[in-house]
Amino acid sequence: MVDREDLPDRVWTWPNALSALRLLGVPLFLWLLLGPEADGWAVAVLMVSGFTDWLDGKLARWLDQSSRLGALLDPAADRLYIVSTLVALALREIVPVWIVALLVGREVVLGVALLVLRRYGYPPLQVHYLGKAATLLLLYAFPGLLLADGEGWLAELCEPIAWALTIWGTALYVLAGLFYLIQVAGIVRAERAARTAP
């Protein structure tokens, strides 16, 4: 995997445009979910977000348009969708508050870890493949949870699948966070040892 700092410092690329489009979809998604409660349209926005998440990575490789900005925008958009979706689903009483607390708490802890890294002069660490898998599971789980909140055969079909994806995605998301914290702790220990060495 290419280190983020080795990537070109480009802004105007197709992958970055897709990531920006995904970010603009967050307020639209929240409004659809919490305002008119247009769940079908909200699911459509989530599906478009998931597709553009996959597409921007592919385009970055196909067109050789990887960039530092893209390496920051992509995981930021993922996290923003996850946190905003969780809060909205909790407000609608579709998911229990403890799942929201667990996943949002993970983001807060990693935010503090990022500040620690910056204090020691390090950029954000590379996204772990486990975190990518967890994000993918959760981005599939959330539309399923919305569909399962309805009535009829589709809701019955979606409910067990959506909850399975939610449980697995949550477990992997927390585990990826723990791996990130272990990496940060290793960096901090090494820096402190280097500073105290004669």
Helix (H, G, I), strand (E, B) or coil at 83: helix
- Structural domain count, the chain: 1
Q: To 10 degrees, what angle do helices 129-148 and 153-196 make?
A: 150
Write out pLDDT tens, residues 106-121. 989 998 998 999 898 8
CATH code of 22's domain: 1.20.120.1760
What one-letter code names the amino acid at 40? G
C-alpha to C-alpha distance for 64 and 30, rounded to whole angstroms: 33
161: closest CA among 141, 178, 187, 186? 141
Tokens 């998604």 belong to 29
Domain that holds residue 178: 4-196
Q: Residue 198: its pLDDT value, please?
A: 64
Write out pLDDT tens, residues 49-75. 878 877 777 777 787 767 777 677 777
Total-model pTM: 0.75
Does residue 11 have a pLDDT over 50?
Answer: yes
